[in-house]
Amino acid sequence: MIKYRCITNNPIMLDGEFQNIEFIDTDILHLFYCVEQEVCKGYRLLTHPLTGSIRPDITPYKSVLLSECGVELDRESIELIQKAIYYVYRLETNHAKPDWGINERLDFQFVDRDFIRNALAIN
């Protein structure tokens, strides 16, 4: 299995199932800014920041897997996270965020966790 870091705002990821979880209590846009900082330090995206079919202005949770890239910056990762930031910014400026109840929020947490489970199973 590859060594990874998981940057997330999904509290269910703290349940002990995964290692190397870095929880940030924030919205998706600011989470992506944090991921961008790490990519600029030399980390590479292992998962696309916009994984799944649920738009980031709908779901309040997102987890992103990173791995060390080496000496050179991974240009593809930089481009992907910057495009994701722009996309989320545009969505957030044009759409109000839904006010989800606890059951819906739990559903979004489970969906996000399943994306990470599947990504780690493939890698």
Domain count, the chain: 1
CA distances from 37 to 7, 34, 43, 56, 92 (A): 11, 5, 9, 19, 21
What pLDDT does 2 receive? 66
| Helices within the chain (DSSP H only) | 28-40, 75-94, 102-122
What string of pLDDT tens digits covers the 123 residues of the chain?
568 999 999 999 999 999 999 999 999 999 999 999 999 999 999 999 999 888 999 999 999 999 987 778 899 999 999 999 999 999 999 988 899 999 999 999 999 999 999 999 876
What pLDDT does 20 receive? 93
What pLDDT does 3 receive? 85
In terms of Cα–Cα distance, which of 119, 81, 115 is closest to 4? Answer: 119
Domain range holding 49?
5-122
What pLDDT does 91 receive? 94
What pLDDT does 68 receive? 82
